[in-house]
Amino acid sequence: MFLGLDSSTQSLSALVIDPATACIVCERTVNFGKDLPHYGSPSGFLPGGTDGVVHADPRMWLEALDLLLARLAEATDLSQIAMISGSGQQHGTVYLDETFPQRLGDPRGDSLVERFAPAFTRATSPIWMDTSTGAECREIAEAAGGNAEVCRRSGSIAVERFSGPQIRRFFKTEPEAYEKTGCIHLVSSFLASVLAGREAAIDYGDGAGMNLMNLESLAWDPVLLDATAPGLVEKLPTLGATTDVIGPISGYFTRKYGFSETCRCANFTGDNPASLVGMGSTRPGNIVISLGTSDTFFAAMPGPLTDPHGYGHVFGNPAGGFMSLICFRNGSLAREALRDAEGLDWSAFDADALGETRDAAGANIMLPFYGPEITPRHDFTGPVSKGSDDFESDAALRVRALLEGQFLNMRLHSRWMGLRHERIRLTGGASQNDGIARMAADVFQAPVERLAVSNSAALGAALIAAAAAGHDLPAMQKQFCLTTDQRKIAPDASLEFVYNEALGKFEDLLRETMG
Ligand code: ADP
Ligand code: XUL
């Protein structure tokens, strides 16, 4: 059996598969806010950061791993697991001192927090929601020869949430702590290291989200390293393929949770690359939209292409080659903000409720940004709308306009990928909502499919683990990445013109608002 872990923004989950019987054996999850309230992070990060700072406590991720494995060990026999892989929210960085390798190699102790907490040189980790590094992005771009050059080298212009700018900010604001830092990991490679009891590589999928990896050579880029912070290359792990095996699991986990000594760990990757695998979309053809804390839009790339407007990214595809991705910060948290402001529940977003406002399709335009957005990059402080007279007093109309706005914004900013919207595969917490799924089909005028498994990142990680052990990935994807007819939604073709027009109006409002 194979275990996939997914350390996302709001939770850590586990999924165990058995390729011999094509079965999902067990799934468990730990919700950071609900299960670990003592970290004061109801949505998985520390609230109240100023000037765009969004950090999370890395001890919370460690405690979640202990708790999750304890729950999993109660539910299933972990001695049967042959290989583990995992995924992490992308871009977030973990800073460790020179005692980290020795702590990794010492399997004693009762808890991971106790063992690793003294090694953190930055008490809290910047995560992907952080927008505090505008100045650092400009400095990196200038030093590296401009944003077009940063993009040519790394697949993205210098981006606020990416690891390189975050590392530069640390070097500038806490130079002594930076100096003391022996190793900087991503969330994914940090957890992989802890499990394997030795330093894991950063894989090409997650490594490409740092503004530090050269896409052509798949090595750390000397120009970008120099532009970011001094002595950085000595602090970074090596880079490697997602399916490379790190080694056997640490004795801590065999002793505490009953894993076999023959169980091995493969590299971890980012949650989006893992989801590409779990959605059965590692070959070009499908577009994947993930409606999680962030909304992301991604696809395997048929050929090399970067976004001329600087919003899109190129990451490594865990199955080889590359994937393109765009990330929207105002995803589930914006949907929740409207829901809570109006005193609604998710039923106001379902197919029946949205059916009642169908006549108003495309009539009210909303820029659905409850906080700073990254696509397009702007410090929004609340949604901006242009609507009919009854729009302000009618919550149902605003729910429709918010969802339409989110998908119109995706349509607008995914044009550079040049993809035909033939089929969309939808995943993430909000994809279970039939109304939201129908809205995606209508705005994109493409059929939407949802898979039987909802946690595509954890499934992807389990499939990566099995592939690392020699199983055939395409054959496993046929077994595990299943859609059922009931879960397919055809677009309402009579709305094609409506949403083509609405797209133009959305673009106009965006232009007026952003100047
Ligand atoms: P992440 O992986 O980023 O932690 P998930 O993919 O697990 O996030 O999605 C979690 C989000 O899904 C929640 O924040 C919630 O807003 C949203 N969600 C869950 N159920 C529904 C629903 N029925 N309708 C709309 N959104 C939902
Ligand atoms: C992708 C991104 C987010 C995080 C969290 O670039 O920033 O999707 O991976 O899920």
pLDDT at 342: 95
Ligand 2 pocket: which of 61, 133, 272, 325 to mutate (most atoms within 8 A of CB): 272
Tell me, using a 6 A CB cutoff, whether residue 88 lines ligand 1: no
Residues 165 and 286 occupy one common structural domain: no
Cβ(272) – ligand 2 distance below 6 Å: yes
- Cα 95 from Cα 103, distance rounded (Å): 14
Domain-located, residue 437: yes
The answer on 356 and 505 residing in a single domain is: yes
pTM of the model: 0.95
Of 218, 171, 209, the residue nearest 187 (C-alpha): 209
What per-residue confidence (pLDDT) applies to 325? 96
- Do 438 and 341 share a structural domain? yes
- What is the domain count for the chain? 2
Structural domain ending residue among the three candidates 273, 306, 334: 273
pLDDT in tens, 9-23: 999 999 999 999 999
> Residue 357: pLDDT above 80?
yes
Q: Does residue 486 have a pLDDT over 90?
A: no
Percent of the chain past pLDDT 90, that is, above it, reads 94
Could you give the angle at which helices 496-514 and 395-413 cross, rounded to 10 degrees? 80
* pLDDT at site 471: 98
Residue 121, ligand 2, Cβ within 6 A: no
User: Which domain, by its residues, includes 62?
Assistant: 2-273
Same domain, 269 and 298: no
Ligand lying nearest the CA atom of residue 436: 1
Tell me the two tokens of residue 489: 């939604």
Do residues 202 and 173 both lie within one domain?
yes
Residue holding tokens 């999924």?
15
Q: What is the CATH number of the domain that holds 35?
A: 3.30.420.40
Judged by average pLDDT, the poorest of 22-36, 66-80, 207-221, 418-432 is 418-432
pLDDT (0 to 100) of residue 345: 97
pLDDT at 305 over 90: no
Q: Ligand 1 atom 16: the closest Cα is on which residue?
A: 332
Residue 465, domain member (yes or no): no
Q: 432, 442, 450, 431: which is closest to 400 by C-alpha? A: 442
Query: Residue 90: CB within 6 Å of ligand 2?
Result: yes
Most distant CA pair in the chain, distance: 67
Mean pLDDT computed over 58-68: 98
Instruction: Say which residues have a Cβ less than 8 Å from residue 37's Cβ, sequence separation at least 6.
Output: none
* Residue 180: burial class (beta carbons within 10 Å; 0-12, 13-18, 19+): middle
Q: Are residues 231 and 290 in the same domain?
A: no
pLDDT of amino acid 220: 98
% of the chain beyond a pLDDT of 70? 100
Among 255, 273, 291, give the residue marking a domain's end: 273
Last residue of a domain, one of 251, 273, 295: 273
Q: Is residue 464 part of a domain?
A: no
Are 109 and 252 in contact by the 8 Å Cβ rule? The answer is yes
- CB of 385 closer than 6 A to ligand 1? no
> Which ligand 2 atom sits closest to the C-alpha of 271?
9
Residue 503 has which token pair? Answer: 């797209």
Asked if residue 26 and residue 10 are part of one domain, the reply reads yes
pLDDT band, residue 113 (cuts 50/70/90): very high
- Section 477-494 average pLDDT: 91
Predicted confidence (pLDDT) per residue in 218-250, tens digit: 999 999 999 999 999 999 999 999 999 999 999
pLDDT in tens, 121-176: 999 999 999 999 999 999 999 999 999 999 999 999 999 999 999 999 999 999 99
State mean pLDDT over 95-109: 97
Phi, psi of 90 (to 5 degrees): -80, 160
Beta strands 55-56 and 219-220 are unpaired
